[in-house]
Amino acid sequence: MKFTKMQGCGNDYILIDEEKETVEEKEKGKIAKKLCDRHFGVGADGILYVKKLPREDKLSLERFSMEIYNMDGSKANMCGNGMRCVAAYVYKMGYLKEKRCNVICGGAVKGIEILKEEPLQIRVNMGKPELMAQKIPVLSASDFVINETIGDAFEVLRMTCVSMGNPHAVIYVESPTKELVERIGPKIAYGPRFPEHTNVEFVKVMDREHLTLRVWERGVGETLACGTGCCAALVASYINGLTERKVTVKLLGGKLCCEWDSEDANVYLTGPAKFVYEGEVKDY
Q: Is the peptide bond before 129 cis (omega within 30 degrees of 0)?
A: no
> What pLDDT does 152 receive?
59
pLDDT confidence tier of residue 272, bands split at 50, 70 and 90: very high
pLDDT for 154 beyond 60: no
Q: Which of 93-107, 196-210, 225-239, 241-255 has the lowest mean pLDDT?
A: 93-107
CA distances from 92 to 3, 4, 98, 100, 141 (A): 14, 12, 11, 13, 49
Distance in angstroms (rounded) separating the CA atoms of residues 12 and 279: 15
Residues 199, 191 contacting (CB under 8 angstroms):
no
Q: Both 69 and 55 in a single domain? A: yes
> What pLDDT does 155 receive?
63
Q: What is the mean pLDDT of the chain?
A: 95
Give the CATH number of the domain where residue 174 resides.
Answer: 3.10.310.10
| Residue 80: domain span | 2-127+272-280
Q: Both 234 and 151 in a single domain? A: yes
Q: Both 174 and 71 in a single domain? A: no
Q: Both 188 and 242 in a single domain? A: yes
Distance in angstroms (rounded) separating the CA atoms of residues 66 and 83: 8
Q: Both 21 and 87 in a single domain? A: yes
Q: Both 32 and 102 in a single domain? A: yes
pLDDT tens digits, one per residue of 177-227: 999 999 999 999 999 999 999 999 999 999 999 999 999 999 999 999 999
Q: Both 182 and 231 in a single domain? A: yes
Please indicate, yes or no, whether the overall pTM of this predicted structure exceeds 0.85.
yes
Q: Both 51 and 118 in a single domain? A: yes
> What pLDDT does 151 receive?
67
Q: Residue 136 has what DSSP assignment?
A: T
Residues 61, 98 contacting (CB under 8 angstroms):
yes
Active site residue 85: no
Q: Both 90 and 183 in a single domain? A: no
Residue of 9, 36, 79, 230 marked catalytic: 79
Q: Both 252 and 217 in a single domain? A: yes
Burial class (CB in 10 A: 0-12, 13-18, 19+), 38: exposed
Q: Both 169 and 224 in a single domain? A: yes
Question: What are the two backbone dihedrals, phi and then psi, of residue 157, each rounded to the nearest 5 degrees?
Answer: -120, 160
Residue of 9, 105, 161, 226 marked catalytic: 226
- Span 113-136, mean pLDDT? 96
Burial class (CB in 10 A: 0-12, 13-18, 19+), 63: middle
| Spatial CB neighbours of 58, under 8 Å, sequence gap ≥ 6 | none
Measured from the Cβ of residue 84, the count of other Cβ atoms closer than 10 Å reads: 31
pLDDT tens digits, one per residue of 5-30: 999 999 999 999 999 999 999 999 99
pLDDT tens digits, one per residue of 43-89: 999 999 999 999 888 778 999 999 999 999 999 999 999 999 999 99
> What pLDDT does 143 receive?
98
Question: Could you give the number of structural domains in the chain?
Answer: 2
Helix (H, G, I), strand (E, B) or coil at 113: strand
Q: Both 202 and 248 in a single domain? A: yes
pLDDT for 156 beyond 90: no
> What pLDDT does 150 receive?
85
Active site residue 105: no
